[in-house]
């Protein structure tokens, strides 16, 4: 092949000397076949390389684009997480600001309370110093407080023993001090103690037990509409001698016999009917449910009377006892012995509750007040 090329290049130079030779053509078609196969193989290889490059470039671009998409998704998630954290931090900051504001408010309130407490403490310290400066004033103030409390408890509850104990405690405290005015106060306390010792005690516990007994028996008491009716018993009249009666009276036999027959039938019919007098018609109209409420209402009245008895509230006690007795008389069977016994208990409590007048402690209180005004 190189020979043919060289010969073709040198052919124009020797045109003048020798005539041109014909081109060197291949002797056989076989010599031309490698050249054609080599060109098609190179072209195919070139296209294959280009295809590989394009595929590699496409795969690389796809992977690169996918990587960018993943990075974008990660960045979006991170941004969203950052936004969420920012919102949470912002909410926490707002909550912290609210808490700080509330704490500031509480601190201001505590400072105000602390200031008030300090002022009260200073006032108490000043009062303590004023009282401690004079031991007699402290003792008299304490004795006055004891006597005032004992007087109030005596008037409210009527507890003579508690008042007597309070007077003894006040007298013991005054015994540690000296002075002419102290003797006057102790004499007044001794007089009140003598009055308390001479006062007969009222058996409040016994009266309360009677009310408890009455309350326990209410459920077993018969109402007016539930009173037991005695079943009538038929009884035959004693036989009489009709002939003797007719002979004695001079009446016909048949008339005496008819009179005896009518009298016997009348006695039998009258034993079948019982007539009772009920002054309050409401008692007969009470249903079983209403009967339950009637009993409970009377119980509540008696319980209230018991509390009034223990607190020595005479008007409330009288009112509750009278209301309960009215309920017994209106709705319960008055012929029952149990009802009569319960009403008797109520009358005993009503009569014995405040038969004794409780003394007061005015003499002792007046002596203490006189000392304070004089001192």
| 310 within a domain of the structure (yes/no) | yes
| 21 within a domain of the structure (yes/no) | no
Clarify whether residues 107 and 139 are in a common domain. no
Clarify whether residues 74 and 127 are in a common domain. yes
Q: What is the pLDDT of residue 300?
A: 93
> Which of 366, 299, 365, 301 shows the shortest CA–CA distance to 154?
365
0.85 cut: is pTM over it?
no
The full DSSP string for 228-285 is: PPPPP---PPPP--HHHHHHHHT--HHHHHHHHHHHHHHHHHHTT------S-THHHH
| 37 within a domain of the structure (yes/no) | no
Clarify whether residues 301 and 322 are in a common domain. yes
| 161 within a domain of the structure (yes/no) | yes
| 154 within a domain of the structure (yes/no) | yes
Clarify whether residues 217 and 313 are in a common domain. yes
| 208 within a domain of the structure (yes/no) | yes
* Distance in angstroms between the alpha carbons of the first and the last residue of the chain: 156
Query: If the chain, 375 residues long, is cut into consecutive pieces of 10 residues, what is the mean pLDDT of each piece?
Result: 41 46 49 53 84 86 82 84 86 87 86 86 78 68 85 75 85 79 85 82 78 90 66 51 73 79 74 59 60 87 87 82 88 84 89 66 83 70
> Which of 326, 302, 310 shows the shortest CA–CA distance to 219?
302
Cβ(359)–Cβ(192) below 8 Å: yes
Clarify whether residues 186 and 138 are in a common domain. yes
Q: Which single residue is written with the structure tokens 């017994």?
A: 328
**CA 252 from chain center: how many Å?**
91
Residue that terminates a domain, selected from 133, 161, 180: 133
| 77 within a domain of the structure (yes/no) | yes
Clarify whether residues 151 and 67 are in a common domain. no
Q: What is the pLDDT of residue 77?
A: 86
Clarify whether residues 125 and 76 are in a common domain. yes
Please give the tally of structural domains in the chain.
3
- Residue 115 host element (H or E): helix 29-133
Condensed to tens digits (0 to 9), the pLDDT of residues 275-285 reads: 555 555 555 55
Q: What backbone torsions phi and psi does residue 168 show, to the nearest 5 degrees?
A: -65, -40
Q: What is the pLDDT of residue 4?
A: 43
Q: What is the pLDDT of residue 17?
A: 46
Clarify whether residues 212 and 320 are in a common domain. yes
Q: What is the pLDDT of residue 5?
A: 39
Clarify whether residues 207 and 351 are in a common domain. yes
Q: Which single residue is written with the structure tokens 């009403």?
A: 343
> Which of 211, 346, 339, 219 shows the shortest CA–CA distance to 291?
219
Q: What is the pLDDT of residue 277?
A: 59
Clarify whether residues 333 and 217 are in a common domain. yes
Give the range of the structural domain holding residue 332, as residue numbers without chain letter.
202-228+283-355
Clarify whether residues 65 and 193 are in a common domain. no
| 369 within a domain of the structure (yes/no) | yes
Clarify whether residues 221 and 118 are in a common domain. no
Cβ(276)–Cβ(222) below 8 Å: no
């Amino acid at each position: 092949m190189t020979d043919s090329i060289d010969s073709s290049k040198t052919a124009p130079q020797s045109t003048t000397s020798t005539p041109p030779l014909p081109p060197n053509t291949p002797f056989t078609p076989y010599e031309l076949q490698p050249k054609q196969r080599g060109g098609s193989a190179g072209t195919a290889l070139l296209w294959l390389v280009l295809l590989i490059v394009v595929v590699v470039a496409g795969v690389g671009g796809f992977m690169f684009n996918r990587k960018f998409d993943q990075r974008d998704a990660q960045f979006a998630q991170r941004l969203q997480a950052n936004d969420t954290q920012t919102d949470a931090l912002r909410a926490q900051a707002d909550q912290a600001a609210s808490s700080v504001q509330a704490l500031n408010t509480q601190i201001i309130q505590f400072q105000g309370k602390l200031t008030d407490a300090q002022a009260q403490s200073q006032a108490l310290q000043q009062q303590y110093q004023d009282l401690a400066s004079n031991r007699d004033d402290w003792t008299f103030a304490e004795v006055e407080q004891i006597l005032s409390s004992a007087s109030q408890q005596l008037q409210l509850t009527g507890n003579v023993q508690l008042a007597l104990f309070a007077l003894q405690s006040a007298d013991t405290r005054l015994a540690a001090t000296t002075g002419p005015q102290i003797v006057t106060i102790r004499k007044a306390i001794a007089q009140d103690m003598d009055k308390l010792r001479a006062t007969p005690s009222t058996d409040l516990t016994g009266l309360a037990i009677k009310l408890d007994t009455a309350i326990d028996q209410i459920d077993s008491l018969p109402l007016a509409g539930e009173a037991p009716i005695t079943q009538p018993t038929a009884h035959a009249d004693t036989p009489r001698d009709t002939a003797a009666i007719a002979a004695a009276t001079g009446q016909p036999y048949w008339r005496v016999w008819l009179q005896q027959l009518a009298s016997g039938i009348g006695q039998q019919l009258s034993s079948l009917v019982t007539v009772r007098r009920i002054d309050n018609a409401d008692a007969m109209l009470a249903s079983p449910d209403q009967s339950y409420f009637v009993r409970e209402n009377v119980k509540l009245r008696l319980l209230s009377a018991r509390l009034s008895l223990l607190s020595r509230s005479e008007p409330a006690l009288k009112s509750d006892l009278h209301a309960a007795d009215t309920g017994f008389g209106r709705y319960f069977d008055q012929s029952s012995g149990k009802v009569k016994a319960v009403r008797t208990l109520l009358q005993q409590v009503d009569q014995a509750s405040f038969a004794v007048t409780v003394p007061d402690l005015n003499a002792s209180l007046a002596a203490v007040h006189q000392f304070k005004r004089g001192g």
